[in-house]
């Protein structure tokens, strides 16, 4: 199969999440961007194979993340539910990540490609936690939700997987929101509706 | 003449003037004023009329307990009735109106009720409006409703936005008075995450209202220093203008932040109110105490107000409450108020102390009378004089004054501690209820815990923080206590002045007088809960904040019981009224729930689709061309599919990925039909029952690999079926090796249907052979299209035509749809919407939403043969119930009107011709209808008793709501291509 160009992918927010800057009192508290053509795979352990799945993850990624935590850099492995992983990659060819995980996990888990079924929204800025507190009941303070933490929660009425990628004292935290594609536009509207209170910038996807 | 602005003092910005109107009259005030303080400064005393007797009423308090000074605020769509003038921050252009008065608050027709008052005691309408019974609904209720009620609402849509949010903390401090400030400071220094919430625009609490210095410095100097530290502490969040109104299970607190109520109009980017849910590891209630009114004749005259309100007017707002002020007190705190007024240069008439002895060195220049009470207050719309009774000498003495400040003791504001069911505890020493011990989650400090001196408040707050630090494993920090003044705080209860001749009000808001409570007792309502309901004492917007303790103390006296035995009524959230807008939050109108959009949403819009809501989804109803209405478009689209080829977005169908060694066994258990024989590369129609044997959902499931299946569900049931499968795997059969995952959103899927479908399909496939032999009906394959796009292809048909469903990863779905339109152009391809889809399936008798309504069985649908006898499955046992096999169960049939143009309506009932419409003669009902452009007639799917034996029979269609009675004929539910030749073409 010829490799598909990521440019052929038309994400759910194409034409909607356009680069813009809306300041409040001369500043912005929120940064939004869409990582282009993300790869998103879920993998539930086969019955009785959770330990072996964890071992294979540890061999490849250094260790198996604790529940509600993630590991990795270019490819992030989230321990998102009991015996279940959510794996995030960027800049991968169509189907590459799921194929790689099938090879890695073999009979220990059943990977499912949801790269197109989930939208990935990156939310950062000094006010990111404050914005999210209008939606989620998860305590996002760094002592209970440190970098690498993830949670399945609701924003408004929309189910998301929330991940804290990094927390820079200067630039503020950077969260990834993984949302079912069909709800992406509603979630985007929800985010923008609240981002207006802090000033925000939507940046074009890199590349 | 009464109140006026003092030359100096107060936390107001005298350099700026704010213009406002009250009942249309223009006034001026300053930033920092409340509506109440600004009106008082302008000499306005009459602020409204009372609820029942329409008595003139003025200001009583300085805060949220205000029962009298209720106004309608703003106007138009923002009209807000029952706004307490004491909590309304003044802004430029504010407009307010008095309530319960017509034509004006000065001349109010309703005041005639005062003359009728002997006939209007508590409970009068229970006794009066009894006969005749026919008048209850039509006459009495509308009349009473018109007479009752506080203020008017608006029917205009609310122009403001509202928000909900979540906060978390180690310690929530409720109230930023002296106790709350020092507690927050100590907790902040201990490193706790602190939220300090306070209902005022600025922290300080009583420090804002008092002049007494703390040691060498003014109270606000100390406050400013504490505040500076709190404001810069990263672990502290200050919430001003925020009322913590409820305490709930799990130490969750409800709080209302008034983000923009102090502004004329909320800024566009901000919500008006935020409803916060605060999850607190620990909480400390520092809400202070509420001064009690005294109960004597005419205690509701405008000009009679609480001593604390007078003190606040002077110290916080720089307003004298009057020009000749008397103070009536039963405790030491009234003296401090008198001293503050004296220091501000407000003329004092007298201090009247009900006790035999007051403080020795009171420092007052005016006369101080001991063992004296105010019996009656005189004057109409403004206080003119009082009659005092020297109880020592038994003399009644008139005294001229325009203002009377009353201090009847202090009630700790303990409401939050009672919200989870605990009752407060009576304390003789302060003659008030104290909060009970409600555990470590919520502690109480300061005046809310009954500490009546600043020093004791500080100490109790620090002691509480020390305990909280211990709970949370922190070290309690050092915090220096400011030097506090001597504050005598003795009080002797005085529940009512029996020498009163005039009406003595216990509950101002509900016009409950001292006479109503003995009346309630005399009529048998001597329990405090019954007395409340009989007299309405403690109801309405103030919820008895001022009246409850006086009321139950009087009840105790009347019934000869001690106060603890009488007890209190139940304290419930919310502490102060919460606007419904805040409870609804942002989820109103179009935001009521999120919308799901197909990956082809924008493509469909570009094709001119009319979109409609279908559950959470937006789906195309039809694709009108030119001036076409939905009906014409639907007919054209159906004809196009039946004669050429059409494409339809089916991405919204639920798609569930099923993997694992036991996947086939799992399908065998959740579907009623068998799955063990399905080969790889094939799809099968499956029917799923609920445990009770009724049909839950249907759809096709395809076998993609040895241990890999793809289940489809109806759009509406995608979520419930997924939850059902997860429940089965986690709870019923945890031993099965099966993994399920929703891939509904992963695939953009289109149905390509019509006699030309194969020809169009062949043009987009990379290399798959889809000839009838190679890819027959119910074949399924994973393949590629359009030069390498991964795709899944299924030969399934909802329309009954030669049809395929093609799925590609959702990001490519527009590319797929565009290609199909392009490659199908010379075959006359057209997109079709939900209306056409529905007609096509009704023409084929395929059950859908109208038939799968949770009340139908497989047998009813004519699918009884699918119920496998060779295996167990969910719903098997119950699907064999006798009633399910009953011969006269309504079963699926087709229906046509006998007169050709007649329109069928879903929901109509079926009758044997000649029968009278009745429940007993009912033969069934119409489930789905459509106009078939192929048959040029309306057709329907119906459920009819013994329907399968009655094909060809004439039936009466009874539609009482719309068309009345008309005639139809029962037929096979498959209207088009009954031999399914097209499907296999």
Q: What is the pLDDT of residues B215-234, one digit of tens each?
A: 888 899 999 999 999 999 99
Output the six-digit token pair for B569.
Answer: 């009524």
How many Cα atoms occupy the beta-carbon half-sphere of B318 within 13 Å? 15
- Nearest of B77, B106, B96 to residue B18 by alpha carbon: B96
- Among the partner-chain residues B597, B657, B815, the one whose CB lies closest to the CB of A112 is B657
Q: Do B815 and A139 touch (CB under 8 A)?
A: no
As assigned by CATH, the class of the B747-829 domain is: alpha beta
Q: Do B744 and A182 touch (CB under 8 A)?
A: yes
Q: Do B597 and A116 touch (CB under 8 A)?
A: no
pLDDT for B922 beyond 90: yes
In angstroms, what separates the C-alpha of B668 from chain A's closest C-alpha? 18
Q: CATH homologous superfamily of domain B655-742? A: Aminomethyltransferase beta-barrel domains (3.30.70.1400)
Mean pLDDT of A7-33: 93
The 3-state DSSP class for residue B756 equals coil
DSSP structure string for chain A: -PPPPGGG---TTTTTS--EEE-BTTB-SEEEE--SS-EEEEEEEPTT-HHHHHHHHHHHHSSPPPTTBEEESSEEEEEEETTEEEEEESSPPTTHHHHHHHHHHGGGEEEEE-TTTEEEEEEESTTHHHHHHTT--S---TTTS-TTBEEEEEETTEEEEEEEEEEETTTEEEEEEEEEGGGHHHHHHHHHHHHTTT-EEEEPPP-
Q: Do A197 and B269 touch (CB under 8 A)?
A: yes
Token pair 């508590």 is at which residue? Answer: B122
pLDDT at B42: 97
In angstroms, what separates the C-alpha of A60 from chain B's closest C-alpha? 23
Mean pLDDT of B523-532: 93
pLDDT digits (tens, 9 = 90+) for B418-443: 999 999 999 999 999 999 999 999 99
Q: Which of B167, B269, B709, B782 to mutate: most A Cβ within 10 Å? A: B269
Q: Are strands B395-400 and B385-390 parallel, antiparallel or unpaired?
A: antiparallel
Q: Do B743 and A117 touch (CB under 8 A)?
A: yes
d(CA A98, CA B975): 46
Read off the pLDDT band of A206 (50, 70, 90).
Answer: low
Chain B window 791-850: which residues touch A at a Cβ cutoff of 8 Å? 809-812, 814-815
CB B358 within 8 A of CB B381: no
Instruction: Mention every residue, 6+ apart, whose C-beta is less than 8 A from residue A192.
Output: A32, A200
pLDDT at B639: 98
Mean pLDDT of B523-543: 91
Q: What is the dihedral of CA B803, B805, B806, B809, to 10 degrees?
A: 170
Q: Is B735 on the interface with A (CB under 8 A)?
A: yes
- Among the partner-chain residues A10, A137, A183, the one whose CB lies closest to the CB of B166 is A137
pLDDT digits (tens, 9 = 90+) for B842-853: 999 999 988 999
Q: Do B660 and A110 touch (CB under 8 A)?
A: yes
Q: Do B745 and A118 touch (CB under 8 A)?
A: yes
The 3-state DSSP class for residue B678 equals coil
Query: Does the CA dihedral B77-B83-B87-B92 come out positive or negative?
Result: positive
B946: number of Cβ within 10 Å: 16
pLDDT at B390: 96
* CB environment B693-715: b (16+ within 10 A), e (fewer): bbbbbbbbbbbbeebbbbbbbbb
Residues of chain A in contact with residue B787, where contact means CB-CB under 8 angstroms, are 2
In angstroms, what separates the C-alpha of B389 from chain A's closest C-alpha? 59
pLDDT at A1: 46
Q: Is B790 on the interface with A (CB under 8 A)?
A: yes
Q: Is B120 on the interface with A (CB under 8 A)?
A: no
- Nearest of B701, B658, B669 to residue B870 by alpha carbon: B669
The mean-pLDDT minimum among A134-148, B302-316, B707-721, B963-977 falls in B963-977
How many Cα atoms occupy the beta-carbon half-sphere of B506 within 13 Å? 29
Q: Is A95 on the interface with B (CB under 8 A)?
A: yes
CB B878 within 8 A of CB B692: yes
How many Cα atoms occupy the beta-carbon half-sphere of B522 within 13 Å? 8
The mean-pLDDT minimum among B446-450, B533-537, B862-866, B901-905 falls in B901-905
The 3-state DSSP class for residue B490 equals coil
Q: Do B279 and A137 touch (CB under 8 A)?
A: yes
Q: Is A60 on the interface with B (CB under 8 A)?
A: no
Count chain A–chain B contacts defined by CB atoms under 8 A.
138
Domains B4-114 and B162-289+412-471 share a fold: no
- Among the partner-chain residues A11, A44, A183, the one whose CB lies closest to the CB of B594 is A183
Q: Do A46 and B165 touch (CB under 8 A)?
A: no
Chain A window 96-155: which residues touch B at a Cβ cutoff of 8 Å? 109-110, 112-118, 133-134, 136-139, 141, 144
Q: What is the mean pLDDT of chain B?
A: 94
In angstroms, what separates the C-alpha of B167 from chain A's closest C-alpha? 7
Q: Report the CATH fold assignment for B844-861+880-971.
A: Elongation Factor Tu (Ef-tu); domain 3 (2.40.30)
Q: Do A182 and B597 touch (CB under 8 A)?
A: yes
B6: number of Cβ within 10 Å: 18
In angstroms, what separates the C-alpha of B809 from chain A's closest C-alpha? 6
E strand segments, B849-936: 890-897, 909-911, 922-932
pLDDT at B143: 72
pLDDT digits (tens, 9 = 90+) for B265-276: 999 999 999 999
Chain B window 373-412: which residues touch A at a Cβ cutoff of 8 Å? none
Read off the pLDDT band of B131 (50, 70, 90).
Answer: confident
pLDDT digits (tens, 9 = 90+) for B384-397: 999 999 999 999 99
Nearest CA in chain B to A24: B269
In angstroms, what separates the C-alpha of B599 from chain A's closest C-alpha? 7
pLDDT for B324 beyond 80: yes
- Among the partner-chain residues B163, B748, B815, the one whose CB lies closest to the CB of A8 is B815
Q: What percent of chain B has pLDDT over 90?
A: 88
DSSP structure string for B588-651: SGGGSSPPEE-TTHHHHHHTTPEEEEETTEEEEEE---TT--HHHHHHHHHHHHHHS-EEEE-T
d(CA B761, CA B820): 8
Output the six-digit token pair for B667.
Answer: 């399908």
Chain B window 768-787: which residues touch A at a Cβ cutoff of 8 Å? 784, 787
pLDDT at A99: 97
Q: Which of A102, A117, A151, A197 to mutate: most B Cβ within 10 Å? A: A117
In angstroms, what separates the C-alpha of B197 from chain A's closest C-alpha? 17
pLDDT at A205: 67
pLDDT digits (tens, 9 = 90+) for B541-568: 888 999 999 999 999 999 999 999 999 9
Mean pLDDT of B790-807: 97
List domains and CATH numbers for chain A. 10-37+117-203 (3.30.1360.120), 39-113 (3.30.70.1400)
Chain centre to alpha carbon of residue B761: 52
CA distances B776 to B448, B683, B769, B781, B882, Å, are 80, 11, 11, 11, 39
Q: Which numeric CATH code is attached to B162-289+412-471?
A: 3.50.50.60
Q: Do A2 and B787 touch (CB under 8 A)?
A: yes
- Nearest of B831, B785, B470, B770 to residue B636 by alpha carbon: B831
Q: Is A48 on the interface with B (CB under 8 A)?
A: yes
Query: Does the CA dihedral B741-B742-B747-B753 come out positive or negative?
Result: positive
Q: Partners of B98 in the beta sheet?
A: B71
CB B890 within 8 A of CB B969: no
Q: Which of A112, A192, A196 to mutate: most B Cβ within 10 Å? A: A112
- Among the partner-chain residues A10, A110, A118, the one whose CB lies closest to the CB of B739 is A110
pLDDT at B149: 58
The 3-state DSSP class for residue B966 equals strand
Domain residue spans of chain B: 4-114, 162-289+412-471, 596-644, 655-742, 747-829, 844-861+880-971
- Among the partner-chain residues B736, B739, B745, the one whose CB lies closest to the CB of A181 is B745
Mean pLDDT of B100-117: 75
Read off the pLDDT band of B148 (50, 70, 90).
Answer: low
User: Which secondary-structure segment (H or E) carries B224?
Assistant: helix B219-232
Residues of chain B in contact with residue A136, where contact means CB-CB under 8 angstroms, are 166
Query: Does the CA dihedral B716-B718-B723-B728 come out positive or negative?
Result: positive
pLDDT digits (tens, 9 = 90+) for B68-103: 999 999 989 999 999 999 999 999 999 999 987 777
pLDDT for B776 beyond 50: yes
CB B750 within 8 A of CB B829: no
User: Which secondary-structure segment (H or E) carries B236?
Assistant: strand B236-239
Nearest CA in chain B to A12: B599
Q: Do B737 and A115 touch (CB under 8 A)?
A: no
Residues of chain A in contact with residue B767, where contact means CB-CB under 8 angstroms, are none
Out of 3.10.20.440, 3.30.470.30, 3.30.413.10, 1.10.10.60, which CATH number does the structure's domain B4-114 have?
Answer: 3.10.20.440
Output the six-digit token pair for A156.
Answer: 């408004």
pLDDT at B147: 66
Mean pLDDT of B631-637: 98
Read off the pLDDT band of A207 (50, 70, 90).
Answer: very low
Instruction: Mention every residue, 6+ apart, whose C-beta is less than 8 A from residue B221.
Output: none
Q: Do B269 and A24 touch (CB under 8 A)?
A: yes
Q: Do A133 and B735 touch (CB under 8 A)?
A: no
Mean pLDDT of B718-733: 97
């Amino acid at each position: 199969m010829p490799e598909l160009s990521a440019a052929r992918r038309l994400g759910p927010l194409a034409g909607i999440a356009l680069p813009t800057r809306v300041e409040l009192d001369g500043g912005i508290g929120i940064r939004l961007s869409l990582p282009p053509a993300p790869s998103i795979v879920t993998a539930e352990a086969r019955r009785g194979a959770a330990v072996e799945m964890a071992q294979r993850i540890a061999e490849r990624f250094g260790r198996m993340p604790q529940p509600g935590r993630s590991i990795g850099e270019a490819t992030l492995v989230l321990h998102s539910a009991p015996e279940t992983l959510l794996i995030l990659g960027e800049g991968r060819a169509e189907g590459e990540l799921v194929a790689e995980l099938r090879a890695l996990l073999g009979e220990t888990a059943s990977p499912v490609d949801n790269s197109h079924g989930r939208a990935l929204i990156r939310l950062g800025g000094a006010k990111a936690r404050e914005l999210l507190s209008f939606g989620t009941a998860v305590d996002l303070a760094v002592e209970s939700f440190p970098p690498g933490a993830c949670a399945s929660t609701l924003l408004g009425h929309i189910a998301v997987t929330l991940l804290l990628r990094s927390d820079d004292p200067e630039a503020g935290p950077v969260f990834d929101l993984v949302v079912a594609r069909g709800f992406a536009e509603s979630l985007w509207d929800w985010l923008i509706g609240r981002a207006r209170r802090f000033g925000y910038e939507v940046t074009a996807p890199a590349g | 003449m009464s109140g006026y602005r003092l030359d100096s003092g107060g936390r107001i910005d005298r350099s700026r003037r704010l213009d406002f109107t009250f009942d249309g009259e223009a006034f001026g005030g300053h930033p920092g004023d409340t509506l109440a303080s600004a009106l008082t400064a302008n000499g306005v005393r009459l602020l409204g009329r009372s609820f029942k007797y329409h008595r003139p009423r003025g200001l009583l308090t300085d805060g949220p307990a205000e029962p009298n000074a209720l106004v309608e605020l703003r106007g138009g769509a923002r009209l807000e009735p029952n706004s307490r003038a004491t909590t309304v921050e003044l802004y430029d252009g504010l407009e307010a109106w008095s309530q319960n008065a017509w034509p004006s608050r000065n001349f109010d027709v309703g005041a005639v009720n005062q003359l009728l008052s002997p006939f209007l005691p508590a409970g009068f309408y229970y006794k009066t409006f009894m006969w005749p019974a026919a008048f209850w609904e039509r006459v009495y209720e509308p009349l009473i409703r018109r007479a009752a009620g506080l203020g008017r609402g608006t029917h205009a849509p609310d122009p403001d936005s509202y928000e909900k949010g979540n906060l978390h903390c180690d310690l929530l401090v409720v109230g930023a008075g002296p106790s709350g400030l020092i507690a927050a400071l100590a907790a902040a220094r201990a490193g706790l995450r602190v939220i300090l919430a306070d209902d005022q625009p600025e922290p300080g609490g009583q420090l804002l209202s008092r002049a007494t210095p703390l040691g060498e410095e003014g109270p606000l100097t100390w406050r400013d220093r504490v505040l500076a530290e709190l404001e810069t502490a990263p672990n502290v969040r200050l919430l001003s203008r925020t009322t913590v109104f409820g305490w709930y299970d799990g130490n969750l607190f409800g709080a209302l932040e008034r983000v923009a109520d102090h502004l004329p109009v909320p800024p566009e980017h901000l919500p008006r109110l935020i409803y916060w849910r605060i999850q607190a590891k620990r909480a400390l209630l520092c809400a202070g105490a509420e001064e009690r009114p005294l109960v004597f004749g005419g205690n509701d005259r405008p000009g009679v107000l609480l001593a604390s309100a007078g003190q606040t007017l002077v110290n916080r707002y720089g307003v004298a409450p009057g020009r000749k002020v008397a103070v009536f007190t039963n405790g030491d705190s009234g003296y401090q108020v008198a001293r503050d007024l004296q220091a501000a240069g407000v003329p004092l008439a007298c201090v009247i102390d009900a006790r035999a002895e007051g403080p020795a060195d009171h420092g007052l220049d005016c006369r101080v009378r001991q063992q004296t009470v105010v019996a009656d207050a005189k004057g109409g719309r403004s206080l003119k004089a009082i009659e005092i009774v020297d109880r020592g000498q038994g003399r009644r003495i008139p005294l001229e004054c325009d203002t009377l400040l009353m201090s009847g003791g202090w009630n700790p504001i303990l409401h939050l501690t009672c919200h989870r069911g605990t009752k407060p505890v009576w304390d003789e020493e302060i003659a008030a209820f104290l909060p009970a011990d409600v555990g470590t989650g919520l502690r109480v400090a300061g005046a809310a815990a009954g500490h009546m001196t600043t020093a004791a408040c500080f100490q109790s707050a620090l002691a509480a923080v020390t305990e909280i630090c211990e709970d949370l494993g922190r070290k309690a920090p050092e915090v220096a206590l400011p030097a506090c003044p001597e504050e005598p705080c003795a009080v002797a209860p005085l529940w009512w002045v029996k020498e009163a001749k005039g009406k003595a009000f216990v509950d101002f808001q509900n016009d409950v007088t001292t006479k109503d409570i003995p009346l309630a007792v005399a009529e048998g309502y001597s329990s405090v809960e019954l007395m409340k309901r009989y007299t309405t004492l403690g109801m309405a917007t103030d919820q008895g904040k001022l009246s409850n303790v006086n009321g139950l103390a009087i009840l105790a006296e009347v019934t000869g019981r001690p106060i603890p035995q009488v007890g209190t009524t139940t304290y419930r959230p919310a502490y102060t009224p919460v606007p419904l807008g805040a409870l609804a939050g942002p989820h109103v109108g179009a935001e009521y729930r999120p919308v799901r959009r197909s990956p082809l949403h924008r493509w469909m819009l570009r094709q001119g689709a009319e979109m409609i809501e279908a559950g959470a989804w937006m789906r195309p109803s039809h694709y009108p061309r030119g001036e076409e209405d939905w009906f014409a478009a639907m007919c054209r689209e159906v004809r196009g599919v039946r004669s050429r080829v059409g494409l339809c977005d089916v991405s919204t169908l639920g798609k569930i990925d099923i993997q694992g060694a036991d996947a086939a066994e799992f399908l065998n258990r959740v579907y009623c039909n068998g799955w063990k024989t399905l080969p790889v590369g094939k799809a099968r129609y499956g029917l799923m029952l609920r445990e009770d044997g009724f049909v839950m959902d249907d759809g096709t499931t395809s076998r993609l690999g040895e241990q890999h299946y793809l289940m489809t569900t109806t759009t509406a049931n995608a979520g419930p079926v997924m939850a059902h499968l997860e429940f089965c795997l986690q709870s019923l059969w945890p031993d099965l090796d099966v993994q399920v995952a929703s891939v509904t959103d992963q695939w953009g899927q289109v149905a390509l249907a019509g006699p030309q479908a194969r020809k169009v399909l062949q043009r987009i496939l990379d290399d798959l052979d889809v000839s009838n032999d190679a890819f027959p009906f119910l074949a399924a394959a994973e393949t590629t299209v359009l030069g390498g796009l991964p795709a899944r292809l299924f030969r399934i048909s909802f329309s009954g035509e030669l049809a395929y469903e093609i799925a590609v990863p959702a990001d490519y779905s527009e590319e797929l749809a565009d290609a199909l339109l392009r490659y199908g152009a010379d075959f006359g391809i057209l997109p079709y919407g939900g209306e056409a889809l529905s007609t096509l399936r009704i023409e084929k008798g395929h059950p859908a939403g109208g038939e799968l309504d949770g009340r139908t069985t497989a047998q009813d649908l004519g699918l009884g043969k699918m119920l496998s006898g060779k295996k167990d499955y969910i719903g098997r046992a119950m699907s064999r119930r006798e009633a399910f096999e009953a011969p006269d169960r309504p079963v699926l049939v087709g229906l046509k009107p006998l007169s050709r143009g007649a329109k069928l309506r879903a929901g109509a009932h079926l009758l044997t011709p000649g029968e009278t419409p009745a429940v007993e003669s009912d033969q069934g009902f119409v489930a789905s209808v459509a106009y078939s452009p192929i048959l040029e007639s309306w057709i329907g799917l119906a459920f009819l008793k013994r329907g399968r034996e009655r094909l060809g029979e004439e039936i009466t269609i009874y539609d009482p709501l719309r068309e009345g009675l008309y005639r139809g004929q029962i037929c096979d539910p498959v209207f088009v291509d009954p031999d399914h030749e097209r499907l296999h073409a």
